[in-house]
Amino acid sequence: MNLKSQLIDNKFKISNPNRVVIVVFTVLTLNFLFSANALAALPATYPWPSWWGNGPYGDICWSSYYNANNGNHPDSTLFTTWRGIQVCGPRPSQDNGYYVAEPIPNIENKNKKYTAYMFQCAELPTRYLRVVFGMNGEQNFGGGNFATHYSNNYPQTFTHHLNTPGNTRLPREGDIVSFTSSDPNGHVAIVKSVNPIIPGTDSIVTFINQNGNSNESNPGTFDALILNGEIQDANGFHATDWISPRWTGELPSAAQYSTVYDMDATSGSNVWTAGFNQPPTTSRRPVIFRWDGSTWTKYLPTPQNPTRHHDLNGITISPSGEVFTVGTWSAGFVQGWQTLAYRWDSSSWLYAPSDNPSPGNGSDQLNDVASDSSGNIYAVGTYTKPTEPGQGWTTLIEKWNGVRFIRQTNLTELPGRLDSVSFSSPSNGWAVGGTNAYHFDGSTWTNMQLPSGVADVYTISDSEAWGAGTVTSGIYSVPAILHYTTTNGWVKDTTFPFYPPDPNNKYGANYSIKSIDGNGPNDIWVSGSLSSTYLLYQGVPFTAHYDGTKWAWAHNGYLSQIEDIKVLPDSVLAISRALNFMSYERP
């Protein structure tokens, strides 16, 4: 009897055969639905460990370095993979108790390598956390303490769950589970899949693991039942606790050929994001997505010219529920790039006219849009001005007057661009881009220069705001986090941390800060990505949280650069260019 039959037999052993048929039919339906959701939540394939080289066996599982009586560990005995994570085993039987020491790079000291014991259970999740989350290997503790150790050391990244009856939060794919066993060091495994039988309480969970028992009869996977929210004993293991990444994601199937740049939300069931859609051999056309809490809906507003490129760069929701999105489109060589805007009237997307101040074939674009608490809508961007040297870019602010976006004249336009705008009230707002910042007092936009360039702004109140961006330091791009108060003006926040294991960026990571948002002065979030040859990262996302006292990193394992982040009172949402929609489970 397989596990599914055993579970159904234990839970539904009844005399009425009709009830049994109904239960079996429900199980098949739910398996299909939940499997689809699980596959959508995580990347298809995680990166291959860069420290595994190209030796005679491809150095899979560090095989060409296995110094044992029976020689190199043959690749033909390697076990399963999960999303590119290779399960190594079985452990050779003639190794005389010796296990190859695999050097997993340790970021804290470039000349030091963390030594994990290949083919042992803890090496698999350690490698997974290093490749996916960029975490250093933590040395000298057994698999039975794995979940507790990482939950204590990375509370902003993982939630911690005890394996007790009545759990309503079941393990998910990618979670790491610790076990007790006959081995005093215990055991640890990664959740490969969860197939619900009774949603929320009973399931079959499949694990991937290494060195599952002394004679390696465990082929790299094993199954266990979850009854009433508790993982049951299986394969000689008793599950004690597990950790789950706080960031979870969803990739809608409608996202094909789409790229998004901005997001706004009033709740977890009213989320809008905008960008462009470009199937093969076609021009980019405007695209907008809406998440209602369960389903993504895709909208394709009418383009200005279906043969020309269109980009939507910003989107906002007004207090009345109207939604505005802005961007730019290519009108051709004679007219150049022009501003672009659409308005959602609760049932359809309508074209919203907007001013184009550059003459002739100049370029005009809107990069962001925001609403104040009274429903006044402002868009910011840039345009080319022939009177500037080289027809340089010039700051641009426009306001919706109920009919069109009108260029504002209550400011001094300066060389540069504006990329973000934010309000705390109708009489207080900020627009920023590069080192330009404009403060709005309800009647006039007043310019001031920032100490470093920023790409996004979050306005908390009349007396406080935050800005975020990236600046060049030597040969690297590093974070620039600015804090505004009426007392000190705009100053650089020197407490914002580099990637934690490399606090001084001595190994040279390049950062790209995309977004900052918050829910008051004690709940500020920054998102972006970092790349480093040594850190083994290329465009991997990160988020950091400020609690009013200090910053803390919340590692994100979705390997898709975060384009925008939105902080709500009860949740934190993030979106990637590929429309990976992520939510954060707060501590």
- If you average pLDDT over residues 425-437, what whole number do you get? 97
What is each CA distance from 286 to 283, 305, 340, in whole angstroms? Answer: 10, 11, 10
Classify each residue of 287-317 as buried b or exposed e, where b means 16 or more C-beta atoms within 10 Å of its C-beta: bbbebeeeebebbebebeeeebbbbbbbbbb
Between 394 and 51, residue with greater pLDDT: 394
Between 393 and 315, residue with greater pLDDT: 315
Q: How confident is the model at residue 142 (pLDDT cuts 50, 70, 90)?
A: confident
Position 227, amino acid: L
Q: How confident is the model at residue 324 (pLDDT cuts 50, 70, 90)?
A: very high
* Residue 149 confidence (pLDDT): 92
Q: How confident is the model at residue 25 (pLDDT cuts 50, 70, 90)?
A: very low
Q: How confident is the model at residue 114 (pLDDT cuts 50, 70, 90)?
A: low
* Residue 548 confidence (pLDDT): 96
Q: What is the per-residue DSSP string for 30-87?
A: HHHHHHHHHHHHS-S-PPPPTTS---TTTTGGGGGG--STT-SPPGGG---EETTEEP
* Residue 558 confidence (pLDDT): 67
Contact 436, 450 (CB under 8 A): yes
Q: How confident is the model at residue 7 (pLDDT cuts 50, 70, 90)?
A: very low
What is each CA distance from 552 to 32, 128, 129, 310, in whole angstroms? Answer: 38, 22, 18, 38
Q: How confident is the model at residue 325 (pLDDT cuts 50, 70, 90)?
A: very high
Q: Return d(Cα 562, Cα 529) in angstroms, integer.
A: 7
Look at 37-51, 115-129, 301-315, 559-573 and tell me which has the smallest mean pLDDT.
37-51
The single-letter DSSP state of residue 88 is P
Q: How confident is the model at residue 5 (pLDDT cuts 50, 70, 90)?
A: very low
The percentage of residues in the chain with a pLDDT greater than 90, rounded to a whole number, is 56
Helices 3-11 + 17-41 axis angle, to 10: 130
Q: Return d(Cα 542, Cα 175) in angstroms, integer.
A: 19
- If you average pLDDT over residues 391-409, what whole number do you get? 94
- Domain ranges within the chain, ordered by starting residue: 3-245
Question: Which residues does 343 contact at the CB level (< 8 Å), separation at least 6?
Answer: 322, 323, 324, 349, 350, 352
* Residue 300 confidence (pLDDT): 96
- If you average pLDDT over residues 364-372, what whole number do you get? 97
Sign of CA dihedral 193, 47, 561, 571: positive
Question: Could you tell me the pTM of the whole model?
Answer: 0.86
Q: Return d(Cα 170, Cα 224) in angstroms, integer.
A: 13
Q: Is the pLDDT of residue 493 over 90?
A: yes
Q: Which fold has domain 3-245?
A: endopeptidase fold (from Nostoc punctiforme) (3.90.1720)
Task: Give the burial class of 226: count Cβ atoms within 10 A of its Cβ; 0-12 exposed, 13-18 middle, 19 or more buried.
Answer: buried
- If you average pLDDT over residues 462-473, what whole number do you get? 96
Q: Is the pLDDT of residue 366 over 90?
A: yes
What value does the mean pLDDT of the chain take? 83
Contact 182, 236 (CB under 8 A): yes
Q: How confident is the model at residue 134 (pLDDT cuts 50, 70, 90)?
A: confident
Q: Is the pLDDT of residue 564 over 60?
A: yes
- If you average pLDDT over residues 111-136, what whole number do you get? 77
Q: How confident is the model at residue 113 (pLDDT cuts 50, 70, 90)?
A: low
Q: How confident is the model at residue 63 (pLDDT cuts 50, 70, 90)?
A: low
Q: What is the per-residue DSSP string for 362-409?
A: --EEEEEEEE-TT--EEEEEEEE-TTSTTS-EEEEEEEE-SSSEEE--
Look at 186-195, 241-250, 384-393 and tell me which has the smallest mean pLDDT.
384-393
Where does 444-548 show beta strands of DSSP type E? Answer: 445-454, 456-461, 464-473, 476-485, 489-492, 510-518, 524-532, 537-546
Q: Is the pLDDT of residue 347 over 70?
A: yes
Q: Is the pLDDT of residue 160 over 90?
A: yes
Q: How confident is the model at residue 140 (pLDDT cuts 50, 70, 90)?
A: low
Contact 80, 90 (CB under 8 A): no
